[in-house]
Structure 1
C-alpha cells in the first residue's frame, strides 16, 4: 500500500498542512517498514519504534482534518499498518522484558520489571484495538488480515503476563546447593510462595518428603519453565523476620523439626563421631564447589579461624566439603563429607541434617557456625544457630538477613576482620544459644 502512496502523488496535490502530514506519515511508515529485516541489530529496534510512534501522531493529526475520501482511506491504511506493527513490536518487547524481569537479582527489581511488562502489554492491546477499528472502516479482506495479526500479537502479549511462573524451583539434584531448599521452604512457610520440583530429579522423592512433612504439600505446583529467581527468597524471608522474628523462627522450627525425636542411629552416629568432649564447639564450614569458585574456602584463612576457635577455648568442628588431612589436629572434629553417608541420604535426608545440628547444639554444646557464603549454613541459621559468614564485599542478598534473622552476622574481609571474629567467639562462649527442648519453643 505504501508503494501505491509513493506512486500516486495526485492524492497529495493540495499543499495544505494536512496533505503535508499525510505525505510525511506515509514516508515515515515506508522507512520504518524497511527496518524490519534488521531489528536485531543494535539500536535499530529503538529507531523503528520511534518512527512508528511518529507515524501514528502525524497520521492521526492529518486524519482529523482530511476531507478527501482518497486521502482519508490512505491515512486509515497508514494507521492500520502502523498500529499493527506497534502491537507486534510490543509483544516482542514484553517477551524480552519478562525474561529479564523474571531473573532480576532482587524481588523489587523483579516486580518493577513485571509492572513495566504489564504497561507494554496494554500498549499492544490498545494498538490491536486501533488496528481493528481502522480495518472495520476500510472493510477489505487485506485490512482484516492485518488487524487479525495485530489481535494475535495483543493476545500473545497478554498471555505472557497471565502465564507468568510465580513458582520457585526446589532443586532436588546433587549438582545444586542442598541448602537453598531450606530457604525456599522457609519462604513458602512465611510468605506462601509456590514451589515446583523438576520431575525425575535425583532427589525428587526426598524433596517432596521434606516439603510434605513441613506442611507444604499445598504449595507444590506442576513444573514449568522460567521459574522465579531464587535470589528473591532472602528478601522475602527477611521481611517476615523483620515483622516478627520470634514468630518466624517458631514457625520454621515447628515445620522443619516436627514432633519426631532424632533416631537412635543418628544419636549413636553423633556420639561416635563427636565423642564425649564437653567443650563448647563451633562449626567451621568448608566450601570447594565449582559454582562461584571465588567464594570457596581459603585454607590459609581456615587455619587462622581454627586457631582463633582454639584460643577462645572452643572446639572446632569442620563441616561441608573435604579439608586437607593436615588441617585437622587432635582437638578438632572432622565431619566433612558426612552428608554423603547413607544416614543423610535417605528419604528423610533434610530432616536428618537439621536434627544433626540440633543435637550438636542441645547435647554437644555447639554455640555457633562460621563459614563463607554457602547456603548450607542457612538451615541452622534460620533455626536459631548463631552464624557468622565471611565475604569479600557486602552481599546484597544475604545482607538482608543481617539485623533480621537473630544472631546472623556478616563479616567483610577488611583490615581487622579477624578481631571481629575473635570478639564474636568470646560472645558465643559467654552467651551460648538457648536449648530448645521442643521444636516450637523460642531459641
Structure 2
C-alpha cells in the first residue's frame, strides 16, 4: 500500500508537471512578438519611425493600433514601405517599444550606409517630391524672405508638451540657439510645436506646426512629412537640425539629416544611436554646451 500510494503521488506530480509544461509552451506560442505602431494622437508620433525602422532593418513584426483617426495613414505608410508581410492582427501584451531603438542601432552599427539606404528607399520611395509638398515649402520660405535657396539652413525644434514639461524648449535657449545659427552664417528655421513664449526671433523662419496643414494630413501624411524635410535638404540647403530630445527629430535623422539633440542628462535609450546613425550627436546641457553647439554649426556651415 505505501508503495502504491507513492506511485500515485508520483503520477500526480508527473501530471502536474506535464500540465505546467503545456501551459508554458502555450504562453511561448501565444506570446505577442509584435511592436505596436500607435495611432492615438496622445502618443508620440515619432515612435512610429522607430517601429517602422526596426521592421525594415530587422524584420520586426508590427501591429497597428486599431480604430483611431490615424490608423489608415499608419497602415498606408507601412504598406508603402514594403512592410505588408510584417503586419499582424492587433493583440494585447505586445513587445516593449523601448527595444526598437537598440534594434535600429545594431543595424546601423553593422553597415550604416546600407541601413540608411534601405530606410530611405522604404520611407521616401523613388518618386519625385510631390508638387503640393515642394510648393508649400517653397512658398513659405519665399514669404519669409529666407534668402537664396542655396543659403544653408538649420532646423531648430521647439518642444512644448504636457508630458515631461521640464524638458520643453525655453524662449531664452531658443534665442541663444537662433543667435548661434545666424552667427554661423546659417538661416534658422523653427519647426516642431508652436512658439508660446514670444514672437519669432529676428532672422528666423517659422515653419512650426507644418504638419497641421492639409498638405500633410492626407493618407500619405507620414511620407509627406519626411518629404518636407527632404525637399528642404535638396532645394533649400538644409544642413542639420538642433533641438530638445523629441522623437519627431528621429525620422529626419534616419533619412540622413545631421542632428544635435539637447538633453539635461544622458538619454540611455537614444545614446545607442550616437556613433551608429551617421551625424547623430547628443549634447548634454552642461557647462559649455552652447560652445559645443557652436562648433557643430560651424562644421555644418563649412561642409560641402
Alpha-carbon distance in structure 1 between the residues aligned to 2:140 and 2:290: 29
Q: TM-score, structure 1 length as denominator?
A: 0.64
Alpha-carbon distance in structure 2 between the residues aligned to 1:407 and 1:202: 34
Q: Is the 8 A contact 2:184 2:297 kept in 1?
A: yes
Structure 1 stretch displaced more, 296-305 or 223-232: 296-305
Q: Is the 8 A contact 2:178 2:188 kept in 1?
A: yes
Which residue of structure 1 aligns with residue 147 of structure 2?
277
Which residue of structure 1 aligns with residue 41 of structure 2?
174
Structure 2 gap ranges (5+): none
Structure exhibiting the larger radius of gyration computed from Cα positions: 1
Q: Is the 8 A contact 2:124 2:223 kept in 1?
A: yes
DSSP 3-state at the match of 2:262: strand
Alpha-carbon distance in structure 2 between the residues aligned to 1:304 and 1:74: 83
Which residue of structure 2 aligns with residue 197 of structure 1?
64
Number of aligned positions between the proteins: 299
Please state how far the C-alpha of 1:263 moved relative to its aligned partner: 1.9
Alpha-carbon distance in structure 1 between the residues aligned to 2:168 and 2:233: 25
Alpha-carbon distance in structure 2 between the residues aligned to 1:363 and 1:325: 31
- Measured against aligned partners, the alpha-carbon deviations of 1:345-397 in whole angstroms (never above 9, x if no partner) come to 11010111111001111111110000111110011101100000011111111
Q: Is 1:424 aligned to 2:296, yes or no?
A: yes
Pairing 1:222-233 to 2, within 5 Å after superposition: 222-233=89-100
Please state how far the C-alpha of 1:260 moved relative to its aligned partner: 1.9
Q: Is 1:405 aligned to 2:277, yes or no?
A: yes
Alpha-carbon distance in structure 1 between the residues aligned to 2:31 and 2:89: 13
DSSP 3-state at the match of 2:189: strand
CA RMSD of aligned residues (A): 1.8
Q: Is the 8 A contact 2:178 2:201 kept in 1?
A: no
Which residue of structure 2 aligns with residue 326 of structure 1?
198
Alpha-carbon distance in structure 2 between the residues aligned to 1:169 and 1:252: 19
DSSP 3-state at the match of 2:98: helix
Pairing 1:292-307 to 2, within 5 Å after superposition: 292-307=164-179
Q: Is 1:261 aligned to 2:128, yes or no?
A: yes
Q: TM-score, structure 2 length as denominator?
A: 0.93
Alpha-carbon distance in structure 1 between the residues aligned to 2:59 and 2:46: 19
Q: Which has the higher contact order (CA 8 A, sep 6+)?
A: 2
Q: Which stretches of structure 1, 4 residues or longer, exceed 6 Å deviation after superposition?
A: none
Q: Is the 8 A contact 2:156 2:188 kept in 1?
A: yes
DSSP 3-state at the match of 2:48: helix
Which residue of structure 1 aligns with residue 184 of structure 2?
312
Please state how far the C-alpha of 1:252 moved relative to its aligned partner: 0.8
Structure 1 gap ranges (5+): 1-68, 81-132, 136-145, 433-443
DSSP 3-state at the match of 1:207: helix
Which residue of structure 2 aligns with residue 30 of structure 1?
none
